[in-house]
A and B are shown apart, each in its own frame.
Chain A
Amino acid sequence: SQTIHQWPATLVQPVGSPLSLECTVEGTSNPNLYWYRQAAGRGLQLLFYSVGIGQISSEVPQNLSASRPQDRQFILSSKKLLLSDSGFYLCAWSGTVMNTEAFFGQGTRLTVV
């Protein structure tokens, strides 16, 4: 069966520090991968998605970047965190067929102080 792993679960980082969140998927090949951000009490904002290795699409301009160095690995990064980067970050995957459901990781709660 397919599983998705996301770490760390919680993170407290000072303003200006770098960020690296990692997400890996097991049990499937060539998944579509997504990074979402959820502000407290808010909806899901799509940050990046990827349909293949090295293929990254950005949905909103921001202080973050994403990379997909391997088929089932998706990384969210920042060189210098801002206070506004605080939030709940969710990685998700879906199958290669259109209109399929998404499966979410456990999420990373990031607090920038």
Chain B
Amino acid sequence: GQQVMQIPQYQHVQEGEDFTTYCNSSTTLSNIQWYKQRPGGHPVFLIQLVKSGEVKKQKRLTFQFGEAKKNSSLHITATQTTDVGTYFCAAHPSGGSYIPTFGRGTSLIVHP
């Protein structure tokens, strides 16, 4: 089945530093979705990218979808303690699916 590899598994940063997490697939994707799970909470949908090379921004968060639609990244500029949590990517294969495949997530720890 389709697999989505997400790295790194953990990332410690000092408040104010930048953070990036990456998702990679060996097969072409229909889309990529990003979710955030706060400690003790549930995953919350952040955004979806569908077009090759697409870039979207939400305040300090920048989401990119690769030209080949096989990889994606989430970049946070100047992290804050409120950014703490686990960031998951999820994807549907080319051709579409009802079942998203989730990456294993990247846990972001921000030190004040």
Query: Residues on A close to B: CB < 8 A?
Result: 32, 34, 41-44, 46, 49, 51, 90, 94, 98-99, 101-107
Q: Would you give the shortest CB distance from A106 to chain B, in whole angstroms?
A: 6
Chain B residue with minimal CB distance to A51? Answer: B98
Known pairs A44-B88, A102-B45; A32 contacts B98 (CB<8 A):
yes
Q: Would you give the shortest CB distance from B61 to chain A, in whole angstroms?
A: 16
Q: Which residues of B contact A46 (CB under 8 A)?
A: 99, 102
The one of A42, A49, A106 that contacts B99, using a Cβ cutoff of 8 Å: A49
Q: Which residues of B contact A99 (CB under 8 A)?
A: 30-31, 50, 92, 96-97
The one of B33, B96, B102 that contacts A43, using a Cβ cutoff of 8 Å: B102
Interface positions, chain B 77-101, Cβ under 8 Å from A, are 88, 90, 92, 96-100
Q: DSSP majority for the A interface?
A: loop
The one of B43, B45, B96 that contacts A44, using a Cβ cutoff of 8 Å: B43
Known pairs A44-B43, A44-B88, A103-B45; A98 contacts B100 (CB<8 A):
no
Q: DSSP majority for the B interface?
A: strand
Task: Decide: A49 and B98 in contact? CB cutoff 8 A.
Answer: yes
Query: Residues on B close to A: CB < 8 A?
Result: 30-31, 33, 35, 41-45, 48, 50, 88, 90, 92, 96-100, 102-105, 107
**What are some 30 contacts across the A-B interface (CB < 8 A)?**
A32-B98, A42-B104, A43-B104, A44-B43, A44-B102, A46-B99, A46-B102, A49-B98, A51-B98, A90-B42, A94-B98, A94-B100, A98-B30, A98-B96, A98-B97, A98-B98, A99-B30, A99-B31, A99-B92, A99-B96, A99-B97, A101-B33, A101-B45, A102-B33, A102-B35, A102-B43, A102-B45, A102-B100, A103-B45, A105-B42
Chain A residue with minimal CB distance to B50? Answer: A99
Task: Decide: B43 and A90 in contact? CB cutoff 8 A.
Answer: yes
State in angstroms the CA–CA spacing of A107 and B97 once bound together: 24
Q: Which residues of A contact B50 (CB under 8 A)?
A: 99
Other than A34-B99, A101-B33, give 15 A-B pairs with Cβ distance below 8 A: A43-B103, A43-B105, A44-B88, A46-B99, A90-B43, A94-B100, A99-B31, A99-B97, A101-B45, A102-B35, A102-B43, A102-B100, A104-B44, A107-B41, A107-B42
